[in-house]
Structures are given as C-alpha cells and as structure tokens.
C-alpha cells in the first residue's frame, strides 16, 4: 500500500484529500501546516533565485517524506511552476530519499490519459468511472468553498461576535471532508450558506474596500502572505480577491479572451496570471475600490513585468496601490507597518 502526500495550498487540502482517499486504495498523508521550519528546510536545499513557491513546496515535501510518504503529487501552473516537479525530484533524490513523483500538470496542460496511467500504477483496482464521479464532486466542492470564501471576505471584518465566521468555516470544512455523495454536499452547502448569512454583521456605509491581486500561490496560501486578509479584516476592511482555484480552472480563459480584445493597456497574454491581473486591476479601479494591494513571491517573472503596467493603470484612475514581494524571510513587522500605513492613508483620503 502506498503512502501518498501532496504539498498543500490554503484550505484546498480538504477537497484534495477527499478526492484521493475516495478514488485510491492508499494511505493519504495530510501534509503538516507550513511553519517557519518548513521554510527553513525549503530554503536550505533550493537553488538561489528560484521563486518562493518552489521553496515552500520543497520544504513541505521533505516534511512529508520524513512522516513516511513514498509517493508525492505535484501540480503545476502556466509559468515555471509547471517545471518544479522534475528538479524537486532530483534534489530530494540527491538528499537520499527514495520515492515516486507524480506530476499532474505539464506546461499548464492536464493530460488525462497520462494521469490515468500513473494512477493505475499506484492502485491496480482504480476505476475511471468512480474517479470521474468523485472529481465532479470535488470540483463542485471547490466551487462552493470559493463562493463561501468570497462571502466571508466581504463580511468578516464587520462581524459583531469576533471569530464567528472562522468557527463556522472550520465546522464546514470538517463536514465537507466527510461527504459521501453529491446530494449530501449540496445539502451541507445550503445549510452552511444560510448559517453564514445569519451571522450578525454591522457594515457601515463608509467602510474601506480593498482589492487584492497578484501571484496565485502567494494569494491562496495564507501563510506565505502573513495572513494579509486576516490583518485587513481586523481593521474593518472589506476585501475582494478574484484568484481562487475555481476561477483559475473554469472562468479565467473565457474572461481573458473577452478582455484582451481592443484593450488599451495589453495586447497579448503576458504569461501566467499577468494580464489577468491587469484586467482585475482595471475592474477594481472602475468599481470604486479605495485601494489595491498587489502581492507576489519574489522573482515571479510574469508579475514583475506587469507591475509597471498595473501601477500605470492605478495612476490613471487615481487609486492608491501597494506592492508587496514576499520571499519568506522578510520581517513580518516591517510588512505590518507598511500595511498599516497604507490603510491609514486610505482612511485619511476617504475622510477628506
């Protein structure tokens, strides 16, 4: 029996765990939450100027292997994230670990036939039909999670009883993890959506609204951005974020096609999420958001290229914008001070 592990990202370990445990007859290891120790491990063994997600995922992989995993799953994106798996495998092999690496996405393309073959090697009784059914449920689960997350982001800053949203969400994730069928998932989703809507919030009309855009891993893994959303919520700010798995998988390509037609700022796709962020920035400016925060991991090439385009747009709409670059070793206090100064400035602008 195989012990499978995968690097985690935000709360998406719940649907991933659900999917793997249902379609494979194997022992799934839940990766430990990312801590400073993880980062230290990742930094120690990574090449110098590779982007930060590489270091985070490598650190997690080492921790998983130490916990007894013998099969690792890595996924990829449209940029160099798609090439992580091969080098990480080599680095870990050089460290003396013996394991099998499965790369789900190559060059941003998902080849179902190849994945099917790989999964067959792990579990000979693996069935296609079952996995299609559970993949469908997982996709729906991710969609529901993302919808609820969007709702939370808008309201969590204004809850009357502190911590009520977080508590409810934890409850929901546990329930989601133990779902048996699509029908059950739907019922649970509706039940929790109602509950979330019933949480008492006090939303003043002159509240600050901030949009967060940037590189996908840093956006979705809260540890890597020092819990920026929580920090903003603590100060009664409504947060809007576009990037989530559901958006990247299903809605992005359609939206970009529409957006790139006759656009004054960008003519072509600039790689990964870059031109997507230009679109989001324009949307935020046009819809009256008070400020924009752009976050990325250091050395993320597409985002570096697009930063100047974004700041040009923000300037022409007269919306303040703040850039953060996280390399996992920057000081948290420095980051918090800059963030504080930013929303203080926004508040002053608003009261003028």
E-assigned strand segments in the chain: 3-5, 27-29, 71-74, 100-103, 105-106, 109-110, 208-214, 237-241, 291-297, 321-326
Q: Rule CB under 8 A: is residue 45 a binding residue for other proteins?
A: no
Answer whether 303's CB lies under 8 Å from 273's CB.
yes
Least Cβ distance, residue 261 to other proteins (angstroms):
15
- Name which of 169 and 294 has its Cβ closer to other proteins: 294
- Name which of 23 and 219 has its Cβ closer to other proteins: 219
- 3-state secondary structure (DSSP) of residue 29: strand
Token pair of 283, please?
């949307």
Q: Rule CB under 8 A: is residue 269 a binding residue for other proteins?
A: yes
Pick one of 312, 338, 349, 350: the residue that binds other proteins (CB under 8 A): 312
Pick one of 304, 317, 335, 347: the residue that binds other proteins (CB under 8 A): 304
Binding mask 92-131 for other proteins (x = CB under 8 A): --x--------x--xx------------------------
- Name which of 15 and 78 has its Cβ closer to other proteins: 78
Least Cβ distance, residue 263 to other proteins (angstroms):
10
Least Cβ distance, residue 180 to other proteins (angstroms):
37
Pick one of 90, 128, 197, 350: the residue that binds other proteins (CB under 8 A): 90
Q: Rule CB under 8 A: is residue 195 a binding residue for other proteins?
A: no
Residues 6+ apart with CB under 8 A from 11: 145, 149, 173
CA distances (Å), origin 310, targets 271, 276, 302, 305, 307: 15, 11, 12, 10, 5
- Distance of alpha carbon 138 from the chain centroid: 16
Q: Rule CB under 8 A: is residue 298 a binding residue for other proteins?
A: yes
Q: Rule CB under 8 A: is residue 64 a binding residue for other proteins?
A: no
Smallest CA-to-CA distance from 123 within 141, 102, 97, 140 is with: 102
Q: Rule CB under 8 A: is residue 266 a binding residue for other proteins?
A: yes
- Name which of 86 and 286 has its Cβ closer to other proteins: 86
Helices 252-260, 274-286: crossing angle, 10 deg rounding:
70
Answer whether 7's CB lies under 8 Å from 61's CB.
yes
Whole-number Å distance between alpha carbons of 299 and 50: 7
Least Cβ distance, residue 85 to other proteins (angstroms):
7
Smallest CA-to-CA distance from 135 within 154, 116, 109 is with: 116
Pick one of 301, 317, 335, 347: the residue that binds other proteins (CB under 8 A): 301
Q: Rule CB under 8 A: is residue 84 a binding residue for other proteins?
A: yes
Q: Rule CB under 8 A: is residue 216 a binding residue for other proteins?
A: no
Residues recorded for the chain: 352
Q: Rule CB under 8 A: is residue 325 a binding residue for other proteins?
A: yes
- Name which of 118 and 304 has its Cβ closer to other proteins: 304
Residues 6+ apart with CB under 8 A from 229: 153, 212, 222, 239, 241
Can you give the binding site for other proteins, defined by CB under 8 A?
Answer: 47-51, 79-80, 82-87, 90-91, 94, 103, 106-107, 265-272, 274-275, 298-299, 301-302, 304-309, 312, 325
């Amino acid at each position: 029996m195989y012990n499978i592990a995968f690097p985690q990202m935000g709360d998406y370990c719940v649907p991933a765990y659900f999917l793997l445990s249902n379609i494979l007859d194997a022992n799934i290891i839940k990766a430990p939450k990312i801590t400073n120790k993880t980062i230290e491990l990742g930094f120690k063994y990574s090449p110098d100027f590779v982007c930060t997600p590489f270091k985070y995922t490598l650190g997690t992989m080492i921790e998983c292997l130490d916990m007894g995993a013998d099969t690792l799953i890595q996924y990829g994106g449209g940029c160099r994230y798609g090439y992580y798996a091969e080098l990480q495998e080599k680095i870990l092999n050089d460290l003396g670990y013996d394991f099998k690496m499965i790369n789900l996405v190559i060059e941003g393309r998902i080849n179902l036939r190849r994945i099917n073959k790989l999964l067959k090697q792990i579990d000979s009784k693996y069935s296609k039909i079952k996995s299609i059914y559970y993949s469908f449920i997982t996709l729906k689960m991710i969609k529901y999670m993302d919808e609820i997350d969007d709702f939370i982001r808008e309201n969590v800053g204004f809850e009357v009883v502190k911590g009520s949203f977080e508590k409810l969400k934890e409850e929901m994730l546990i329930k989601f993890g133990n779902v048996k069928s699509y029908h059950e998932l739907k019922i649970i989703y509706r039940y929790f959506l109602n509950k979330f809507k019933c949480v008492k919030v006090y939303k003043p009309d002159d509240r600050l609204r901030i949009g967060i855009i940037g590189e996908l891993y840093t956006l979705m893994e809260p540890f890597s951005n020092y819990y920026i959303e929580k920090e903003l919520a603590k100060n009664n700010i409504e947060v809007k974020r576009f990037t989530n798995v559901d958006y990247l998988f299903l809605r992005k390509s359609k939206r970009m096609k529409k957006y790139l037609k006759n656009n004054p700022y960008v003519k072509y796709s600039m790689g990964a999420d870059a031109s997507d962020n230009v679109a989001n920035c324009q949307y935020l400016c046009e819809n009256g958001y008070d400020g924009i925060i752009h976050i990325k991991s250091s050395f993320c090439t597409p985002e570096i290229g697009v930063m100047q385009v974004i700041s040009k747009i923000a300037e022409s709409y007269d919306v303040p914008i703040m850039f953060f670059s996280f390399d996992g070793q920057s000081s948290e206090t420095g980051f918090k001070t800059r963030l504080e100064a930013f929303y203080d400035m926004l508040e002053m602008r608003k009261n003028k």
